[in-house]
Amino acid sequence: MISDIITVIAPVNIAVIKYWGKRDEDLILPLNDSVSATLDTNVMCAKTSVCARQDLIEDEIWLNKEKVPFSNRLQNCLKEIKARAASENSVDPIFLHLKIRACSENNFPTAAGLASSAAGYACFVFALAKLYKVKSDISSIARLGSGSACRSVYGGFVRWHAGSKPDGSDSVATQIADASHWPEMRALILVVGDKKKETSSTGGMAVSVKTSELMRHRVEYCVPQRTELIVDAIKNKDFPKFAEITMKDSNQFHAICLDSYPPFVYMNDISHSIVGLIHKYNEISGKVKVAYTFDAGSNACLYLLEEDVSEVISLIKHVYPPSNSKGFVTGLSYVEDVNSKILKMFQPKDKDLIKYVIYTKVGDGPSEVTDGSHLLNRDGSLIHL
Ligand code: DP6
């Protein structure tokens, strides 16, 4: 007995109000609300194929072509999806006793602060929901994989409500606006390093919760105000306000990392030079045209409007010259603005400090792949082996 193969893709999301700190480690319940934009799956995505089989003795998963342990977090997601399927009566109960095989791939660096776990768990849970025909909201199940994954279940701009119930039933993501609401919004991911990070998000935030006084202040005073303001900025398409809050919140999150004891850092000298560059560029421009934000890694995500993309990409190439400009910017297409007068006001730095740039935009949530490009063969065997 073997089920159909289900294959789905799911997006990355980059927070503008960061999730940092849990009130419950097992249920992955956050201390504060967070807000993010979901990025276009045509440029960056996780892809997962799943099937259920009678002949398996344990649940199995391959990640980027390597068999990895079926962790507690994966088990928790699977258990919850099966419980939902049982309560929704969506599949034959016999089916719920079968073990599953999953195969997942990312088309971007894993664990380099590029939100790979968010896309990966959202993808895994969305695929399971399709397999078991679960119809209700799955953001609280994706949350059990990785907190930030609950926001990748929706497209556009998304808010994860911290909730207050001990069982976590009100800790869910909702959409603030879909991807078509602010069609000019763009993102540039500046890949500074694609090595695995030293302090995991899970480990880092646990130290911050225990030791950072700044974190308490942030959770109590800063995030509630900022969340309301940025939701309004998104609804009103007020870019300067959106950008200012985004930058301040990123800076505060990294300040908390330093305020933790022992402290840890995710940003490096190149990350800090990007911060300086954006502030100088905004100042010279006479208005806030670009926002930076950094997750648990050294890579920058810049949010900006389409009209400024040409100039900003030219500026990045000028300040951080690549030795080989071919393939330096991937993703969406753009026209370079090499004549911009603004470039003369910036000194070029050493070559290759930025490895490459991913140009993308706000996009939709997860979707099922219907072109037959599965990661598992029809009989459930692995395509890559
Ligand atoms: C810095 O969702 O990776 O990207 O829930 O422990 O798996 P766990 O953490 P994770 O944390 C992401 C933190 C962040 C900020 C954010 O995305 O909001």
Q: What is the pLDDT of residues 279-314, one digit of tens each?
A: 999 999 999 999 999 999 999 999 999 999 999 999
Residue 111: band (very low, low, confident or very high) from pLDDT cuts 50, 70, 90:
very low
Backbone dihedral angles phi then psi of residue 45, each to the nearest 5 degrees: -160, 160
- 26: number of Cβ within 10 Å: 10
pLDDT of residue 115: 61
Average pLDDT over residues 139-167: 97
In 183-275, beta strands by DSSP E: 185-191
Structure confidence at residue 109 (pLDDT): 61
How sure is the predictor about 113, in pLDDT bands with cuts at 50, 70 and 90? low
Give the confidence band of 266 by pLDDT, cuts at 50, 70, 90: very high
Ligand 1 center–CA 52 separation, angstroms: 29
Q: Which ligand 1 atom is nearest residue 148's CA?
A: 2
ipTM higher than threshold 0.85: yes
More confident residue, 306 or 197: 306
Ligand 1 atom with minimal separation from the 147 CA:
5
pLDDT digits (tens, 9 = 90+) for 182-193: 999 999 999 997
Q: Please give the distance, rounded to the nearest whole angstrom, from the Cα atom of residue 333 to the centre of ligand 1.
A: 30
Query: 102-111, 245-254, 345-354 — which is least confidently predicted?
Result: 102-111
Average pLDDT over residues 87-108: 93
Question: Separation of 188 CA from ligand 1 center, angstroms?
Answer: 20
How many other CB atoms are found less than 10 A from the CB of residue 24? 13
Q: How far apart are CA 114 and CA 120, in angstroms?
A: 11
Q: How far is the CA of 325 from the centre of ligand 1 (A)?
A: 32
Q: Residue 341 has what pLDDT?
A: 86
Q: What tokens appear for 251 in the block?
A: 């800076």
Q: What is the pTM of this model?
A: 0.96
Q: How far apart are the first and last CA of the chain?
A: 22
The protein residue whose alpha carbon is closest to atom 12 in ligand 1 is 148
Computed over every residue of the chain, the mean pLDDT equals 94
Taking 80 as the threshold, does the pLDDT of residue 372 lie above it? yes
